Structure 1
């Protein structure tokens, strides 16, 4: 029993010491990496560069000035990538003194040359002439305005377009005014009004009463 108690005391003493030593080792290996990513030819900061720790789902992006900052471990591999530049892979040294490391990373333009391609609208001149003649050209603003102000179009719009709020209000006010004008007496009948007959005859000649 005394032997087991000695083992327990030794274990209880060594576990915190080992955990503390491991924590100190991990804390010493953590490095705050910061720096700037620039073009190699003009030394201009590159925004939106992906700064990723290789093999881990962890990273950051450079800001509008090309500056970045990320926590890494000594010995990690940092990959710099951008759609317009060649990727760079940098290894953080293991013998860094302290917990901060700064760097200036230069990137080279990734230029891709594609073979020349000639785009033709039609394979033969005959097909192009045929399609050119049969292509419907959309109306321009002047043609659209001319069609909208045509006499036939205006007649159709006059008969089919509903009245707006101002027109309905004006009709209602005229109705109320006529009722007030002939209050207490019989309104006159336009059947005996020569002017009304003249308007009726003109409307008849224009064909306003024909079935559409």
Structure 2
């Protein structure tokens, strides 16, 4: 009995797959048409035509023509800047696999608050405000400020070391550590060269607190 049931299922499987394929094929629809303005019937280019919640879509061309493969029951959304969005529902009872559509869109008017431009009350006030207005620095002025010696020192202290500098520092430290292996390294407090570098840095203001 089990062999008979298994044999029956194997025979019926191709028919079930074929039926599902026919059902899917019948639900696929090619939606095509043109998108125009409702007041002047002019073509609207670059309109976004998207299947709502489906992640599929297209754009209308320069003549407002579009074409999109959808499924029966899908909701199509038309959106474009300056126009009110509109949706189209593909009916489940649609006959055939093609739908032609002329979609009209209405201009979405936006009213901005009024802006009143008035002159300065007096010439003296205009001159005072003009002189006291801070003008942002341009690229040339910013570059000039960055080339200042004090500014370069501040930037150099905060600038991270490059890969070459980091490698060189690591090699020098390793060489010094290996050089004094087995003995106590000398203290720089007794090194006159180190004191000379410290005095020069102090005169330059490297230890000055800028805050």
Q: Same fold (TM over 0.5)?
A: yes
Change in CA separation of 1:87 and 1:134 when aligned onto 2, cut-off 3 Å:
closer
Q: Deviations over 1:91-140 (max 9, x none)?
A: 011222211100100000000101112356879865422244689xxxxx
Change in CA separation of 1:100 and 1:127 when aligned onto 2, cut-off 3 Å:
same
Q: Deviations over 1:41-66 (max 9, x none)?
A: 01011000000000011100000000
Cα RMSD (Å) of the superposition? 2.2
Shift of residue 4, structure 1, vs aligned partner = 1.4
1:56 is aligned to 2:48? no
Q: After the TM superposition, which residues 127-166 of structure 1 pair with which residues of structure 2 at under 5 Å, given as runs?
A: 127-132=125-130
Residues matched between the structures, number: 133
Change in CA separation of 1:7 and 1:126 when aligned onto 2, cut-off 3 Å:
farther
CA distance in 2, matches of 1:91, 1:74: 9
Alignment correspondent of 1:73: 71
Q: Deviations over 1:66-97 (max 9, x none)?
A: 00001001111000000110000110112222
Change in CA separation of 1:123 and 1:56 when aligned onto 2, cut-off 3 Å:
farther
| One of 38, 46, 65 as aligned partner of 2:36 | 38
Alignment correspondent of 2:9: 11
CA distance in 2, matches of 1:123, 1:93: 66
Consecutive unaligned residues in structure 1, runs of 5 or more = 136-212
Compute the TM-score of the two structures, normalised by the length of structure 2: 0.58
**Structure 1 SS opposite 2:22:** helix
Compute the TM-score of the two structures, normalised by the length of structure 1: 0.58
Q: Deviations over 1:166-197 (max 9, x none)?
A: xxxxxxxxxxxxxxxxxxxxxxxxxxxxxxxx
Change in CA separation of 1:8 and 1:42 when aligned onto 2, cut-off 3 Å:
same
Consecutive unaligned residues in structure 2, runs of 5 or more = 134-211
Change in CA separation of 1:19 and 1:116 when aligned onto 2, cut-off 3 Å:
same
CA distance in 2, matches of 1:91, 1:64: 25
